[in-house]
């Protein structure tokens, strides 16, 4: 577990650092593509969101959502990602949708910094954003 403080600016600068964001998303995509066929299937994407815990938790607070509802949610997420409706999500689709999601989180945070307790896993994009910002600050000093 780690404690991070982030606000919308932290998150936005993470996304606007094109190279870093691309690298992070590429790494994520590769690790999610469990059968290595270059695209994410419905179940691979669902696993991704389960591991990110974007839906089940709100800033570290667990909420219980019924399975049936979750399945509906994950289905609608998949449709969103699969913009050309090919039945799978490729890297481009994944990246552009992740960008939208992360920016939406940034908008939600606005200028108010929040302190979060996060699971200490590499999978958390918000933690990555905070780490990146912290490493930049360290370089400045
Ligand atoms: Ca796959």
**CATH code of 77's domain:** 1.10.238.10
Per-residue pLDDT of the chain (141 residues; tens, 9 = 90+): 677 788 899 889 989 999 999 999 999 999 999 999 999 999 999 888 777 655 554 555 566 777 888 888 889 999 999 999 999 999 999 999 999 988 988 888 887 787 776 665 555 677 777 777 777 777 665
Distance in Å, CA 13 to ligand 1 centroid: 30
Residues 6+ apart with CB under 8 A from 70: 55, 56
Q: What is the CA radius of gyration of the chain?
A: 15
Distance in Å, CA 94 to ligand 1 centroid: 12
Q: Provide the domain count of the chain.
A: 1
Distance in Å, CA 115 to ligand 1 centroid: 35
User: Strand pairing partners for 115?
Assistant: 5
Domain that holds residue 37: 2-140
pLDDT of residue 76: 92
Query: What's the pTM value of the predicted model, to 2 decimals?
Result: 0.73
């Amino acid at each position: 577990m780690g404690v991070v403080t982030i606000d919308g600016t932290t998150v936005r600068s993470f996304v606007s650092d094109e190279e870093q964001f691309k690298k992070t998303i590429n790494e994520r995509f590769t690790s999610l593509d469990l059968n290595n066929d270059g695209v994410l299937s419905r179940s691979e994407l669902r696993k991704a969101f389960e591991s990110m815990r974007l839906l089940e938790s709100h800033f570290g607070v667990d909420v219980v959502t019924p399975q049936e509802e979750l399945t509906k949610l994950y289905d609608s997420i998949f449709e969103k990602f699969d913009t050309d409706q090919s039945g799978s999500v490729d890297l481009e689709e994944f990246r552009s949708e992740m960008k939208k999601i992360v920016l939406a989180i940034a908008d939600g945070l606005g200028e108010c910094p929040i302190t979060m307790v996060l699971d200490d896993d590499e999978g958390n994009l918000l933690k990555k954003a905070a780490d990146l910002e912290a490493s930049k600050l360290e370089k400045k000093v």
